[in-house]
Amino acid sequence: MKAFEVNFDGLVGPTHNYAGLSVGNVASLSNAAQASNPKEGAKQGLQKMKALHDLGLKQALLPPLERPDVNTLRLLGFSGSDEQVLTKAYQQARQVFVATCSASSMWTANACTVSPSADTLDKRVHFTAANLSNKFHRSIEAPTTSRILQSIFSNQDYFAHHQPLPQGDHFGDEGAANHTRFCTSYGEQGVEFFVFGKYAFDASQPAPKTFPARQTYEASQAIARLHQLRDEKTVFAQQNPAVIDQGVFHNDVIAVGNQNVLFYHQQAFLNTDQVISQLKQAFGESPFHFVEVPTAEVSVESAVKSYLFNSQLVTLENGDMAIIAPGECHENPEVKNYLDALVASDTPIKEVKIFDVKQSMKNGGGPACLRQRVVLNEQELVHCNQHVFMSDELFARLNQWVDKHYRDSLTEADLCDPQLLVESRQALDELTQILQIGSVYPFQIA
Ligand SMILES: NCCC[C@H](NC(=O)CCC(=O)O)C(=O)O
């Protein structure tokens, strides 16, 4: 049966902000406390979604989470009216407060790991919302993310949902940012590739020294078990700890794959030769393209600054592949030269399309972070919520919705403005109606 890769982009939320919350993520720390522009952020994201839709790709979206997260603040002992909860938290525990305001749900690559039905033993599409244990501000995302995923993919004949892995460092799971699927065509059995940062239960193994390894080997193994993947079609690889210490906090900051192409930096993996031979063996006879970017042409520093590898690698209608890259890739001469040479060389990657997603980039999220890939066959496609799919009408409707509800400047002090909470809840309530996803937010189900 014919199958498609659907990109579910995260919509930038009405309280999009820069709080400097992610140690190990260079952009997040260096832009801390700058004023953000939620309206511009949402529109940049919508432009990218519309452009991919116009290219003939299947494009959908996931709504942002409610922030500030008043419920979490209540769990932490702040009480009274919602307004009082915000004020007390801001005054008494400012850093805790800003963590509950994070823009981070927009990076839907981290929302979950998805295994297409062609790869799973029960032939259902499997979803596990990521526990995002390594960062407090992200560890509070999973419950609402799960509700949203279950609402969009509700038919249990086709879709299986697992609970997030247990919280805590040992099973730290960052979702699809550390997971890639290779295949000849999307509907056929593929190879699932899990990249982890460290072994949680074996301290004798190599691990980064300065910055945290967010994804563990044991978490990746657990996801593969839950998703009923075949051993011979699953490959686990360790990220090079040295690049984690240079700001490569997820594998998707240093590698991206699509169909039979792995585009990666020379220093991405701990044992590259072994990774290549395991992937070849799991993939079988069909041709596989390893497009390795040498350090001599693009340094790790340039890769981290430009987010070259945090591009989307997509298959166009004519079968060629295109890189959907952030504008920063054309501002960096090393990276621009590399890309110019790449599209002229003999690989399936024939085009580079540049997008301005600066509002996201300032928090360390490029085009790849902004999307969750869900491979769906024709039947699965008709059994999921149709109202989250991009169309000319939805694009126009969401731009109007952003114009109506979003501010164009937000500072830390604004985040405890009770009026902002009211505005955001109105916006999200309306959004759930536009997307017809039912009541998913804590303020709707309390
Ligand atoms: N896949 C991209 C994720 C980026 C995300 N940034 C953040 O959470 C920064 C938020 C802030 O600093 O306000 C992270 O590091 O997990």
pLDDT at 446: 72
Residue 412 is classified by DSSP as G
Active site residue 387: no
Tokens of 201: 């239960």
**pLDDT less than 50: residues of the chain:** none
pLDDT at 271: 96
Q: Give dist(CA 293, CA 309) in Å, integer.
A: 10
249 Cα nearest atom in ligand 1: 15
CB contact at 8 A, 48 and 367 = yes
Q: Give dist(CA 118, CA 254) in Å, integer.
A: 27
ipTM beyond 0.85?
A: yes
Q: Give dist(CA 376, CA 396) in Å, integer.
A: 26
Tokens of 285: 């006879």
pLDDT at 46: 98
Q: Give dist(CA 424, CA 15) in Å, integer.
A: 7
pLDDT at 178: 98
pLDDT at 1: 86
Q: Which residues line ligand 1 (CB under 6 A)?
A: 18-22, 25, 28, 102-104, 107, 109-110, 138, 177, 249-250, 363-365, 369
**CB-facing half-sphere around the CA of 263: CA atoms within 13 A:** 28
- β-bridge mates for residue 237, sequence order: 195
The catalytically annotated residue of 101, 112, 183, 369 is 369
Active site residue 174: yes
> Cβ atoms within 10 A of the Cβ of 429, count?
14
Q: Mutation test of ligand 1: which of 9, 23, 28, 96 has the most ligand atoms closer than 8 Å to its C-beta?
A: 28
1-107+370-446 domain in CATH 3.30.420.40? no
pLDDT at 219: 99
pTM over 0.90: yes
- Measured in angstroms, how far is the CA atom of residue 19 from the centroid of ligand 1? 9
Q: Mutation test of ligand 1: which of 12, 16, 22 has the most ligand atoms closer than 8 Å to its C-beta?
A: 22
- Measured in angstroms, how far is the CA atom of residue 364 from the centroid of ligand 1? 6
CB contact at 8 A, 415 and 98 = yes
CB contact at 8 A, 194 and 220 = yes
Look over the chain and give the mean of its residue pLDDT values, rounded to a whole number. 98
Q: What's the one-letter identity of residue 12? A: V
Give how far the C-alpha of residue 418 lies from the chain's centroid of Cα atoms, to the nearest Å: 29
pLDDT at 432: 98
Active site residue 416: no
Ramachandran class of 125: left when φ > 0, alpha when ψ lies in -120 to 50, beta otherwise: beta
pLDDT at 102: 98
Q: Give dist(CA 20, CA 211) in Å, integer.
A: 15
